[in-house]
Structure 1
C-alpha cells in the first residue's frame, strides 16, 4: 500500500507563495459568491470551499515556528 509524503521541504518564499495563492483564491470565491447571491442561487458549496481554504491557511500558520530571542526580553506587537 502506498503512503503519503508527510514531510515537505519548503522555504519561506515557497510557503509565502502558497499562502498568497490561497488568499487570492478565497478573494475570488467571495466575489463569485457575491455574484451568485445576487442571482438568488444557493451558495453553500462556495461557503464550504472558502472555509476549506481558510482552514488550510490556519493549519499552515499553526505549523510555523516564530522567532523569539532567547536571551533578550521579547516585546511583541
Structure 2
C-alpha cells in the first residue's frame, strides 16, 4: 500500500503562490456567502458549507504562517513596527 510523501521541496515563491490562491478562494467564498440570504431556508445548507470551507482555508493559512521564520537581527537591537 502506498504511503504519503511527508517531505516537500517548496521554495518561498511556491508558498507565496499557495497563500495568494487561498486568499483568492476566501474572497470568492465571501462573495458567494454574501449573495445568499439567511432568510431563505433553501440557502442555509449552502451557507454552512461555504462557512466550513472558509474556516478550513483560514486554518491552513494560519498553519502556514506559524511555520514561517521571520527575520530578526541577532547582534543589533530589534525595533519592530
**TM-score, normalization by structure 1:** 0.90
Structure 1's unaligned 5+ residue stretches are none
Structure 2's unaligned 5+ residue stretches are none
C-alpha RMSD over aligned residues: 1.4
Q: 1:29 maps to what in 2? A: 29
Q: 1:53 maps to what in 2? A: 57
Give the paired residue count. 77
Shift of 1:37: 2.4
Q: Deviations over 1:27-63 (max 9, x none)?
A: 0000001112277211111100000000000000001
Structure 1 residue ranges, 4+ long, deviating more than 6 angstroms after superposition: none
Taking the TM superposition and a 5 Å limit, the aligned residue runs for 1:1-77 are: 1-37=1-37, 40=40, 41-42=43-44, 43-77=47-81
**TM-score, normalization by structure 2:** 0.86
